[in-house]
Amino acid sequence: MVGNLWWRAGASYVSVRGAMIARAPGPGDDQDYVLGGTDKEWMPALHKYLRLQGLELPHFVTSFASCCPSRTSFFTGKHCHNTNITSNGLLRGSAFKFFDYGLDHDYLPLWLQAPSLFLAGL
């Protein structure tokens, strides 16, 4: 009786574990160039508006992996501790803080619109 119980428990574990492994994970916030997380089928807007327009950053590295601090560093050219955007939460991060701190007055999208900026394809 006890042996039969252990056999059933083991078989149940194997079938549940197999179902968990077989399920493909959905896309997340940590998209990865090497593992294909930035491919066209996962991120069509990225492909359409950036990659097809000539922007691709396969070797980009960030100093802070969390979303809001990383994006703030990218857009401002400053480390997150210099912008005070240090997390994703409302207290120390988020787009609201980005705009509240006035970081949108001097950042990458504005720099790229400067009339004196000359961009040439290499």
> For residue 87, what are the β-bridge partners?
93
Split at pLDDT 50, 70, 90, the class of 34 is low
| Domain ranges, ordered by start, for the chain | 30-112
* List 37, 39, 67, 92, catalytic entry: 67
Phi, psi of 109 (to 5 degrees): -60, -35
Q: Give yes or no for a contact between 84 and 92, defined as CB atoms under 8 angstroms apart.
A: yes
Q: What percent of the chain has pLDDT over 90?
A: 20
Q: What is the pLDDT of residues 109-122, one digit of tens each?
A: 888 888 776 666 54
Q: What's the predicted TM-score (pTM) here? A: 0.54
Distance CA 121, CA 20 (A): 47
pLDDT surpasses 70 at 5: no
68 given a catalytic annotation = no
Q: What is the pLDDT of residues 68-85, one digit of tens each?
A: 898 899 899 999 889 999
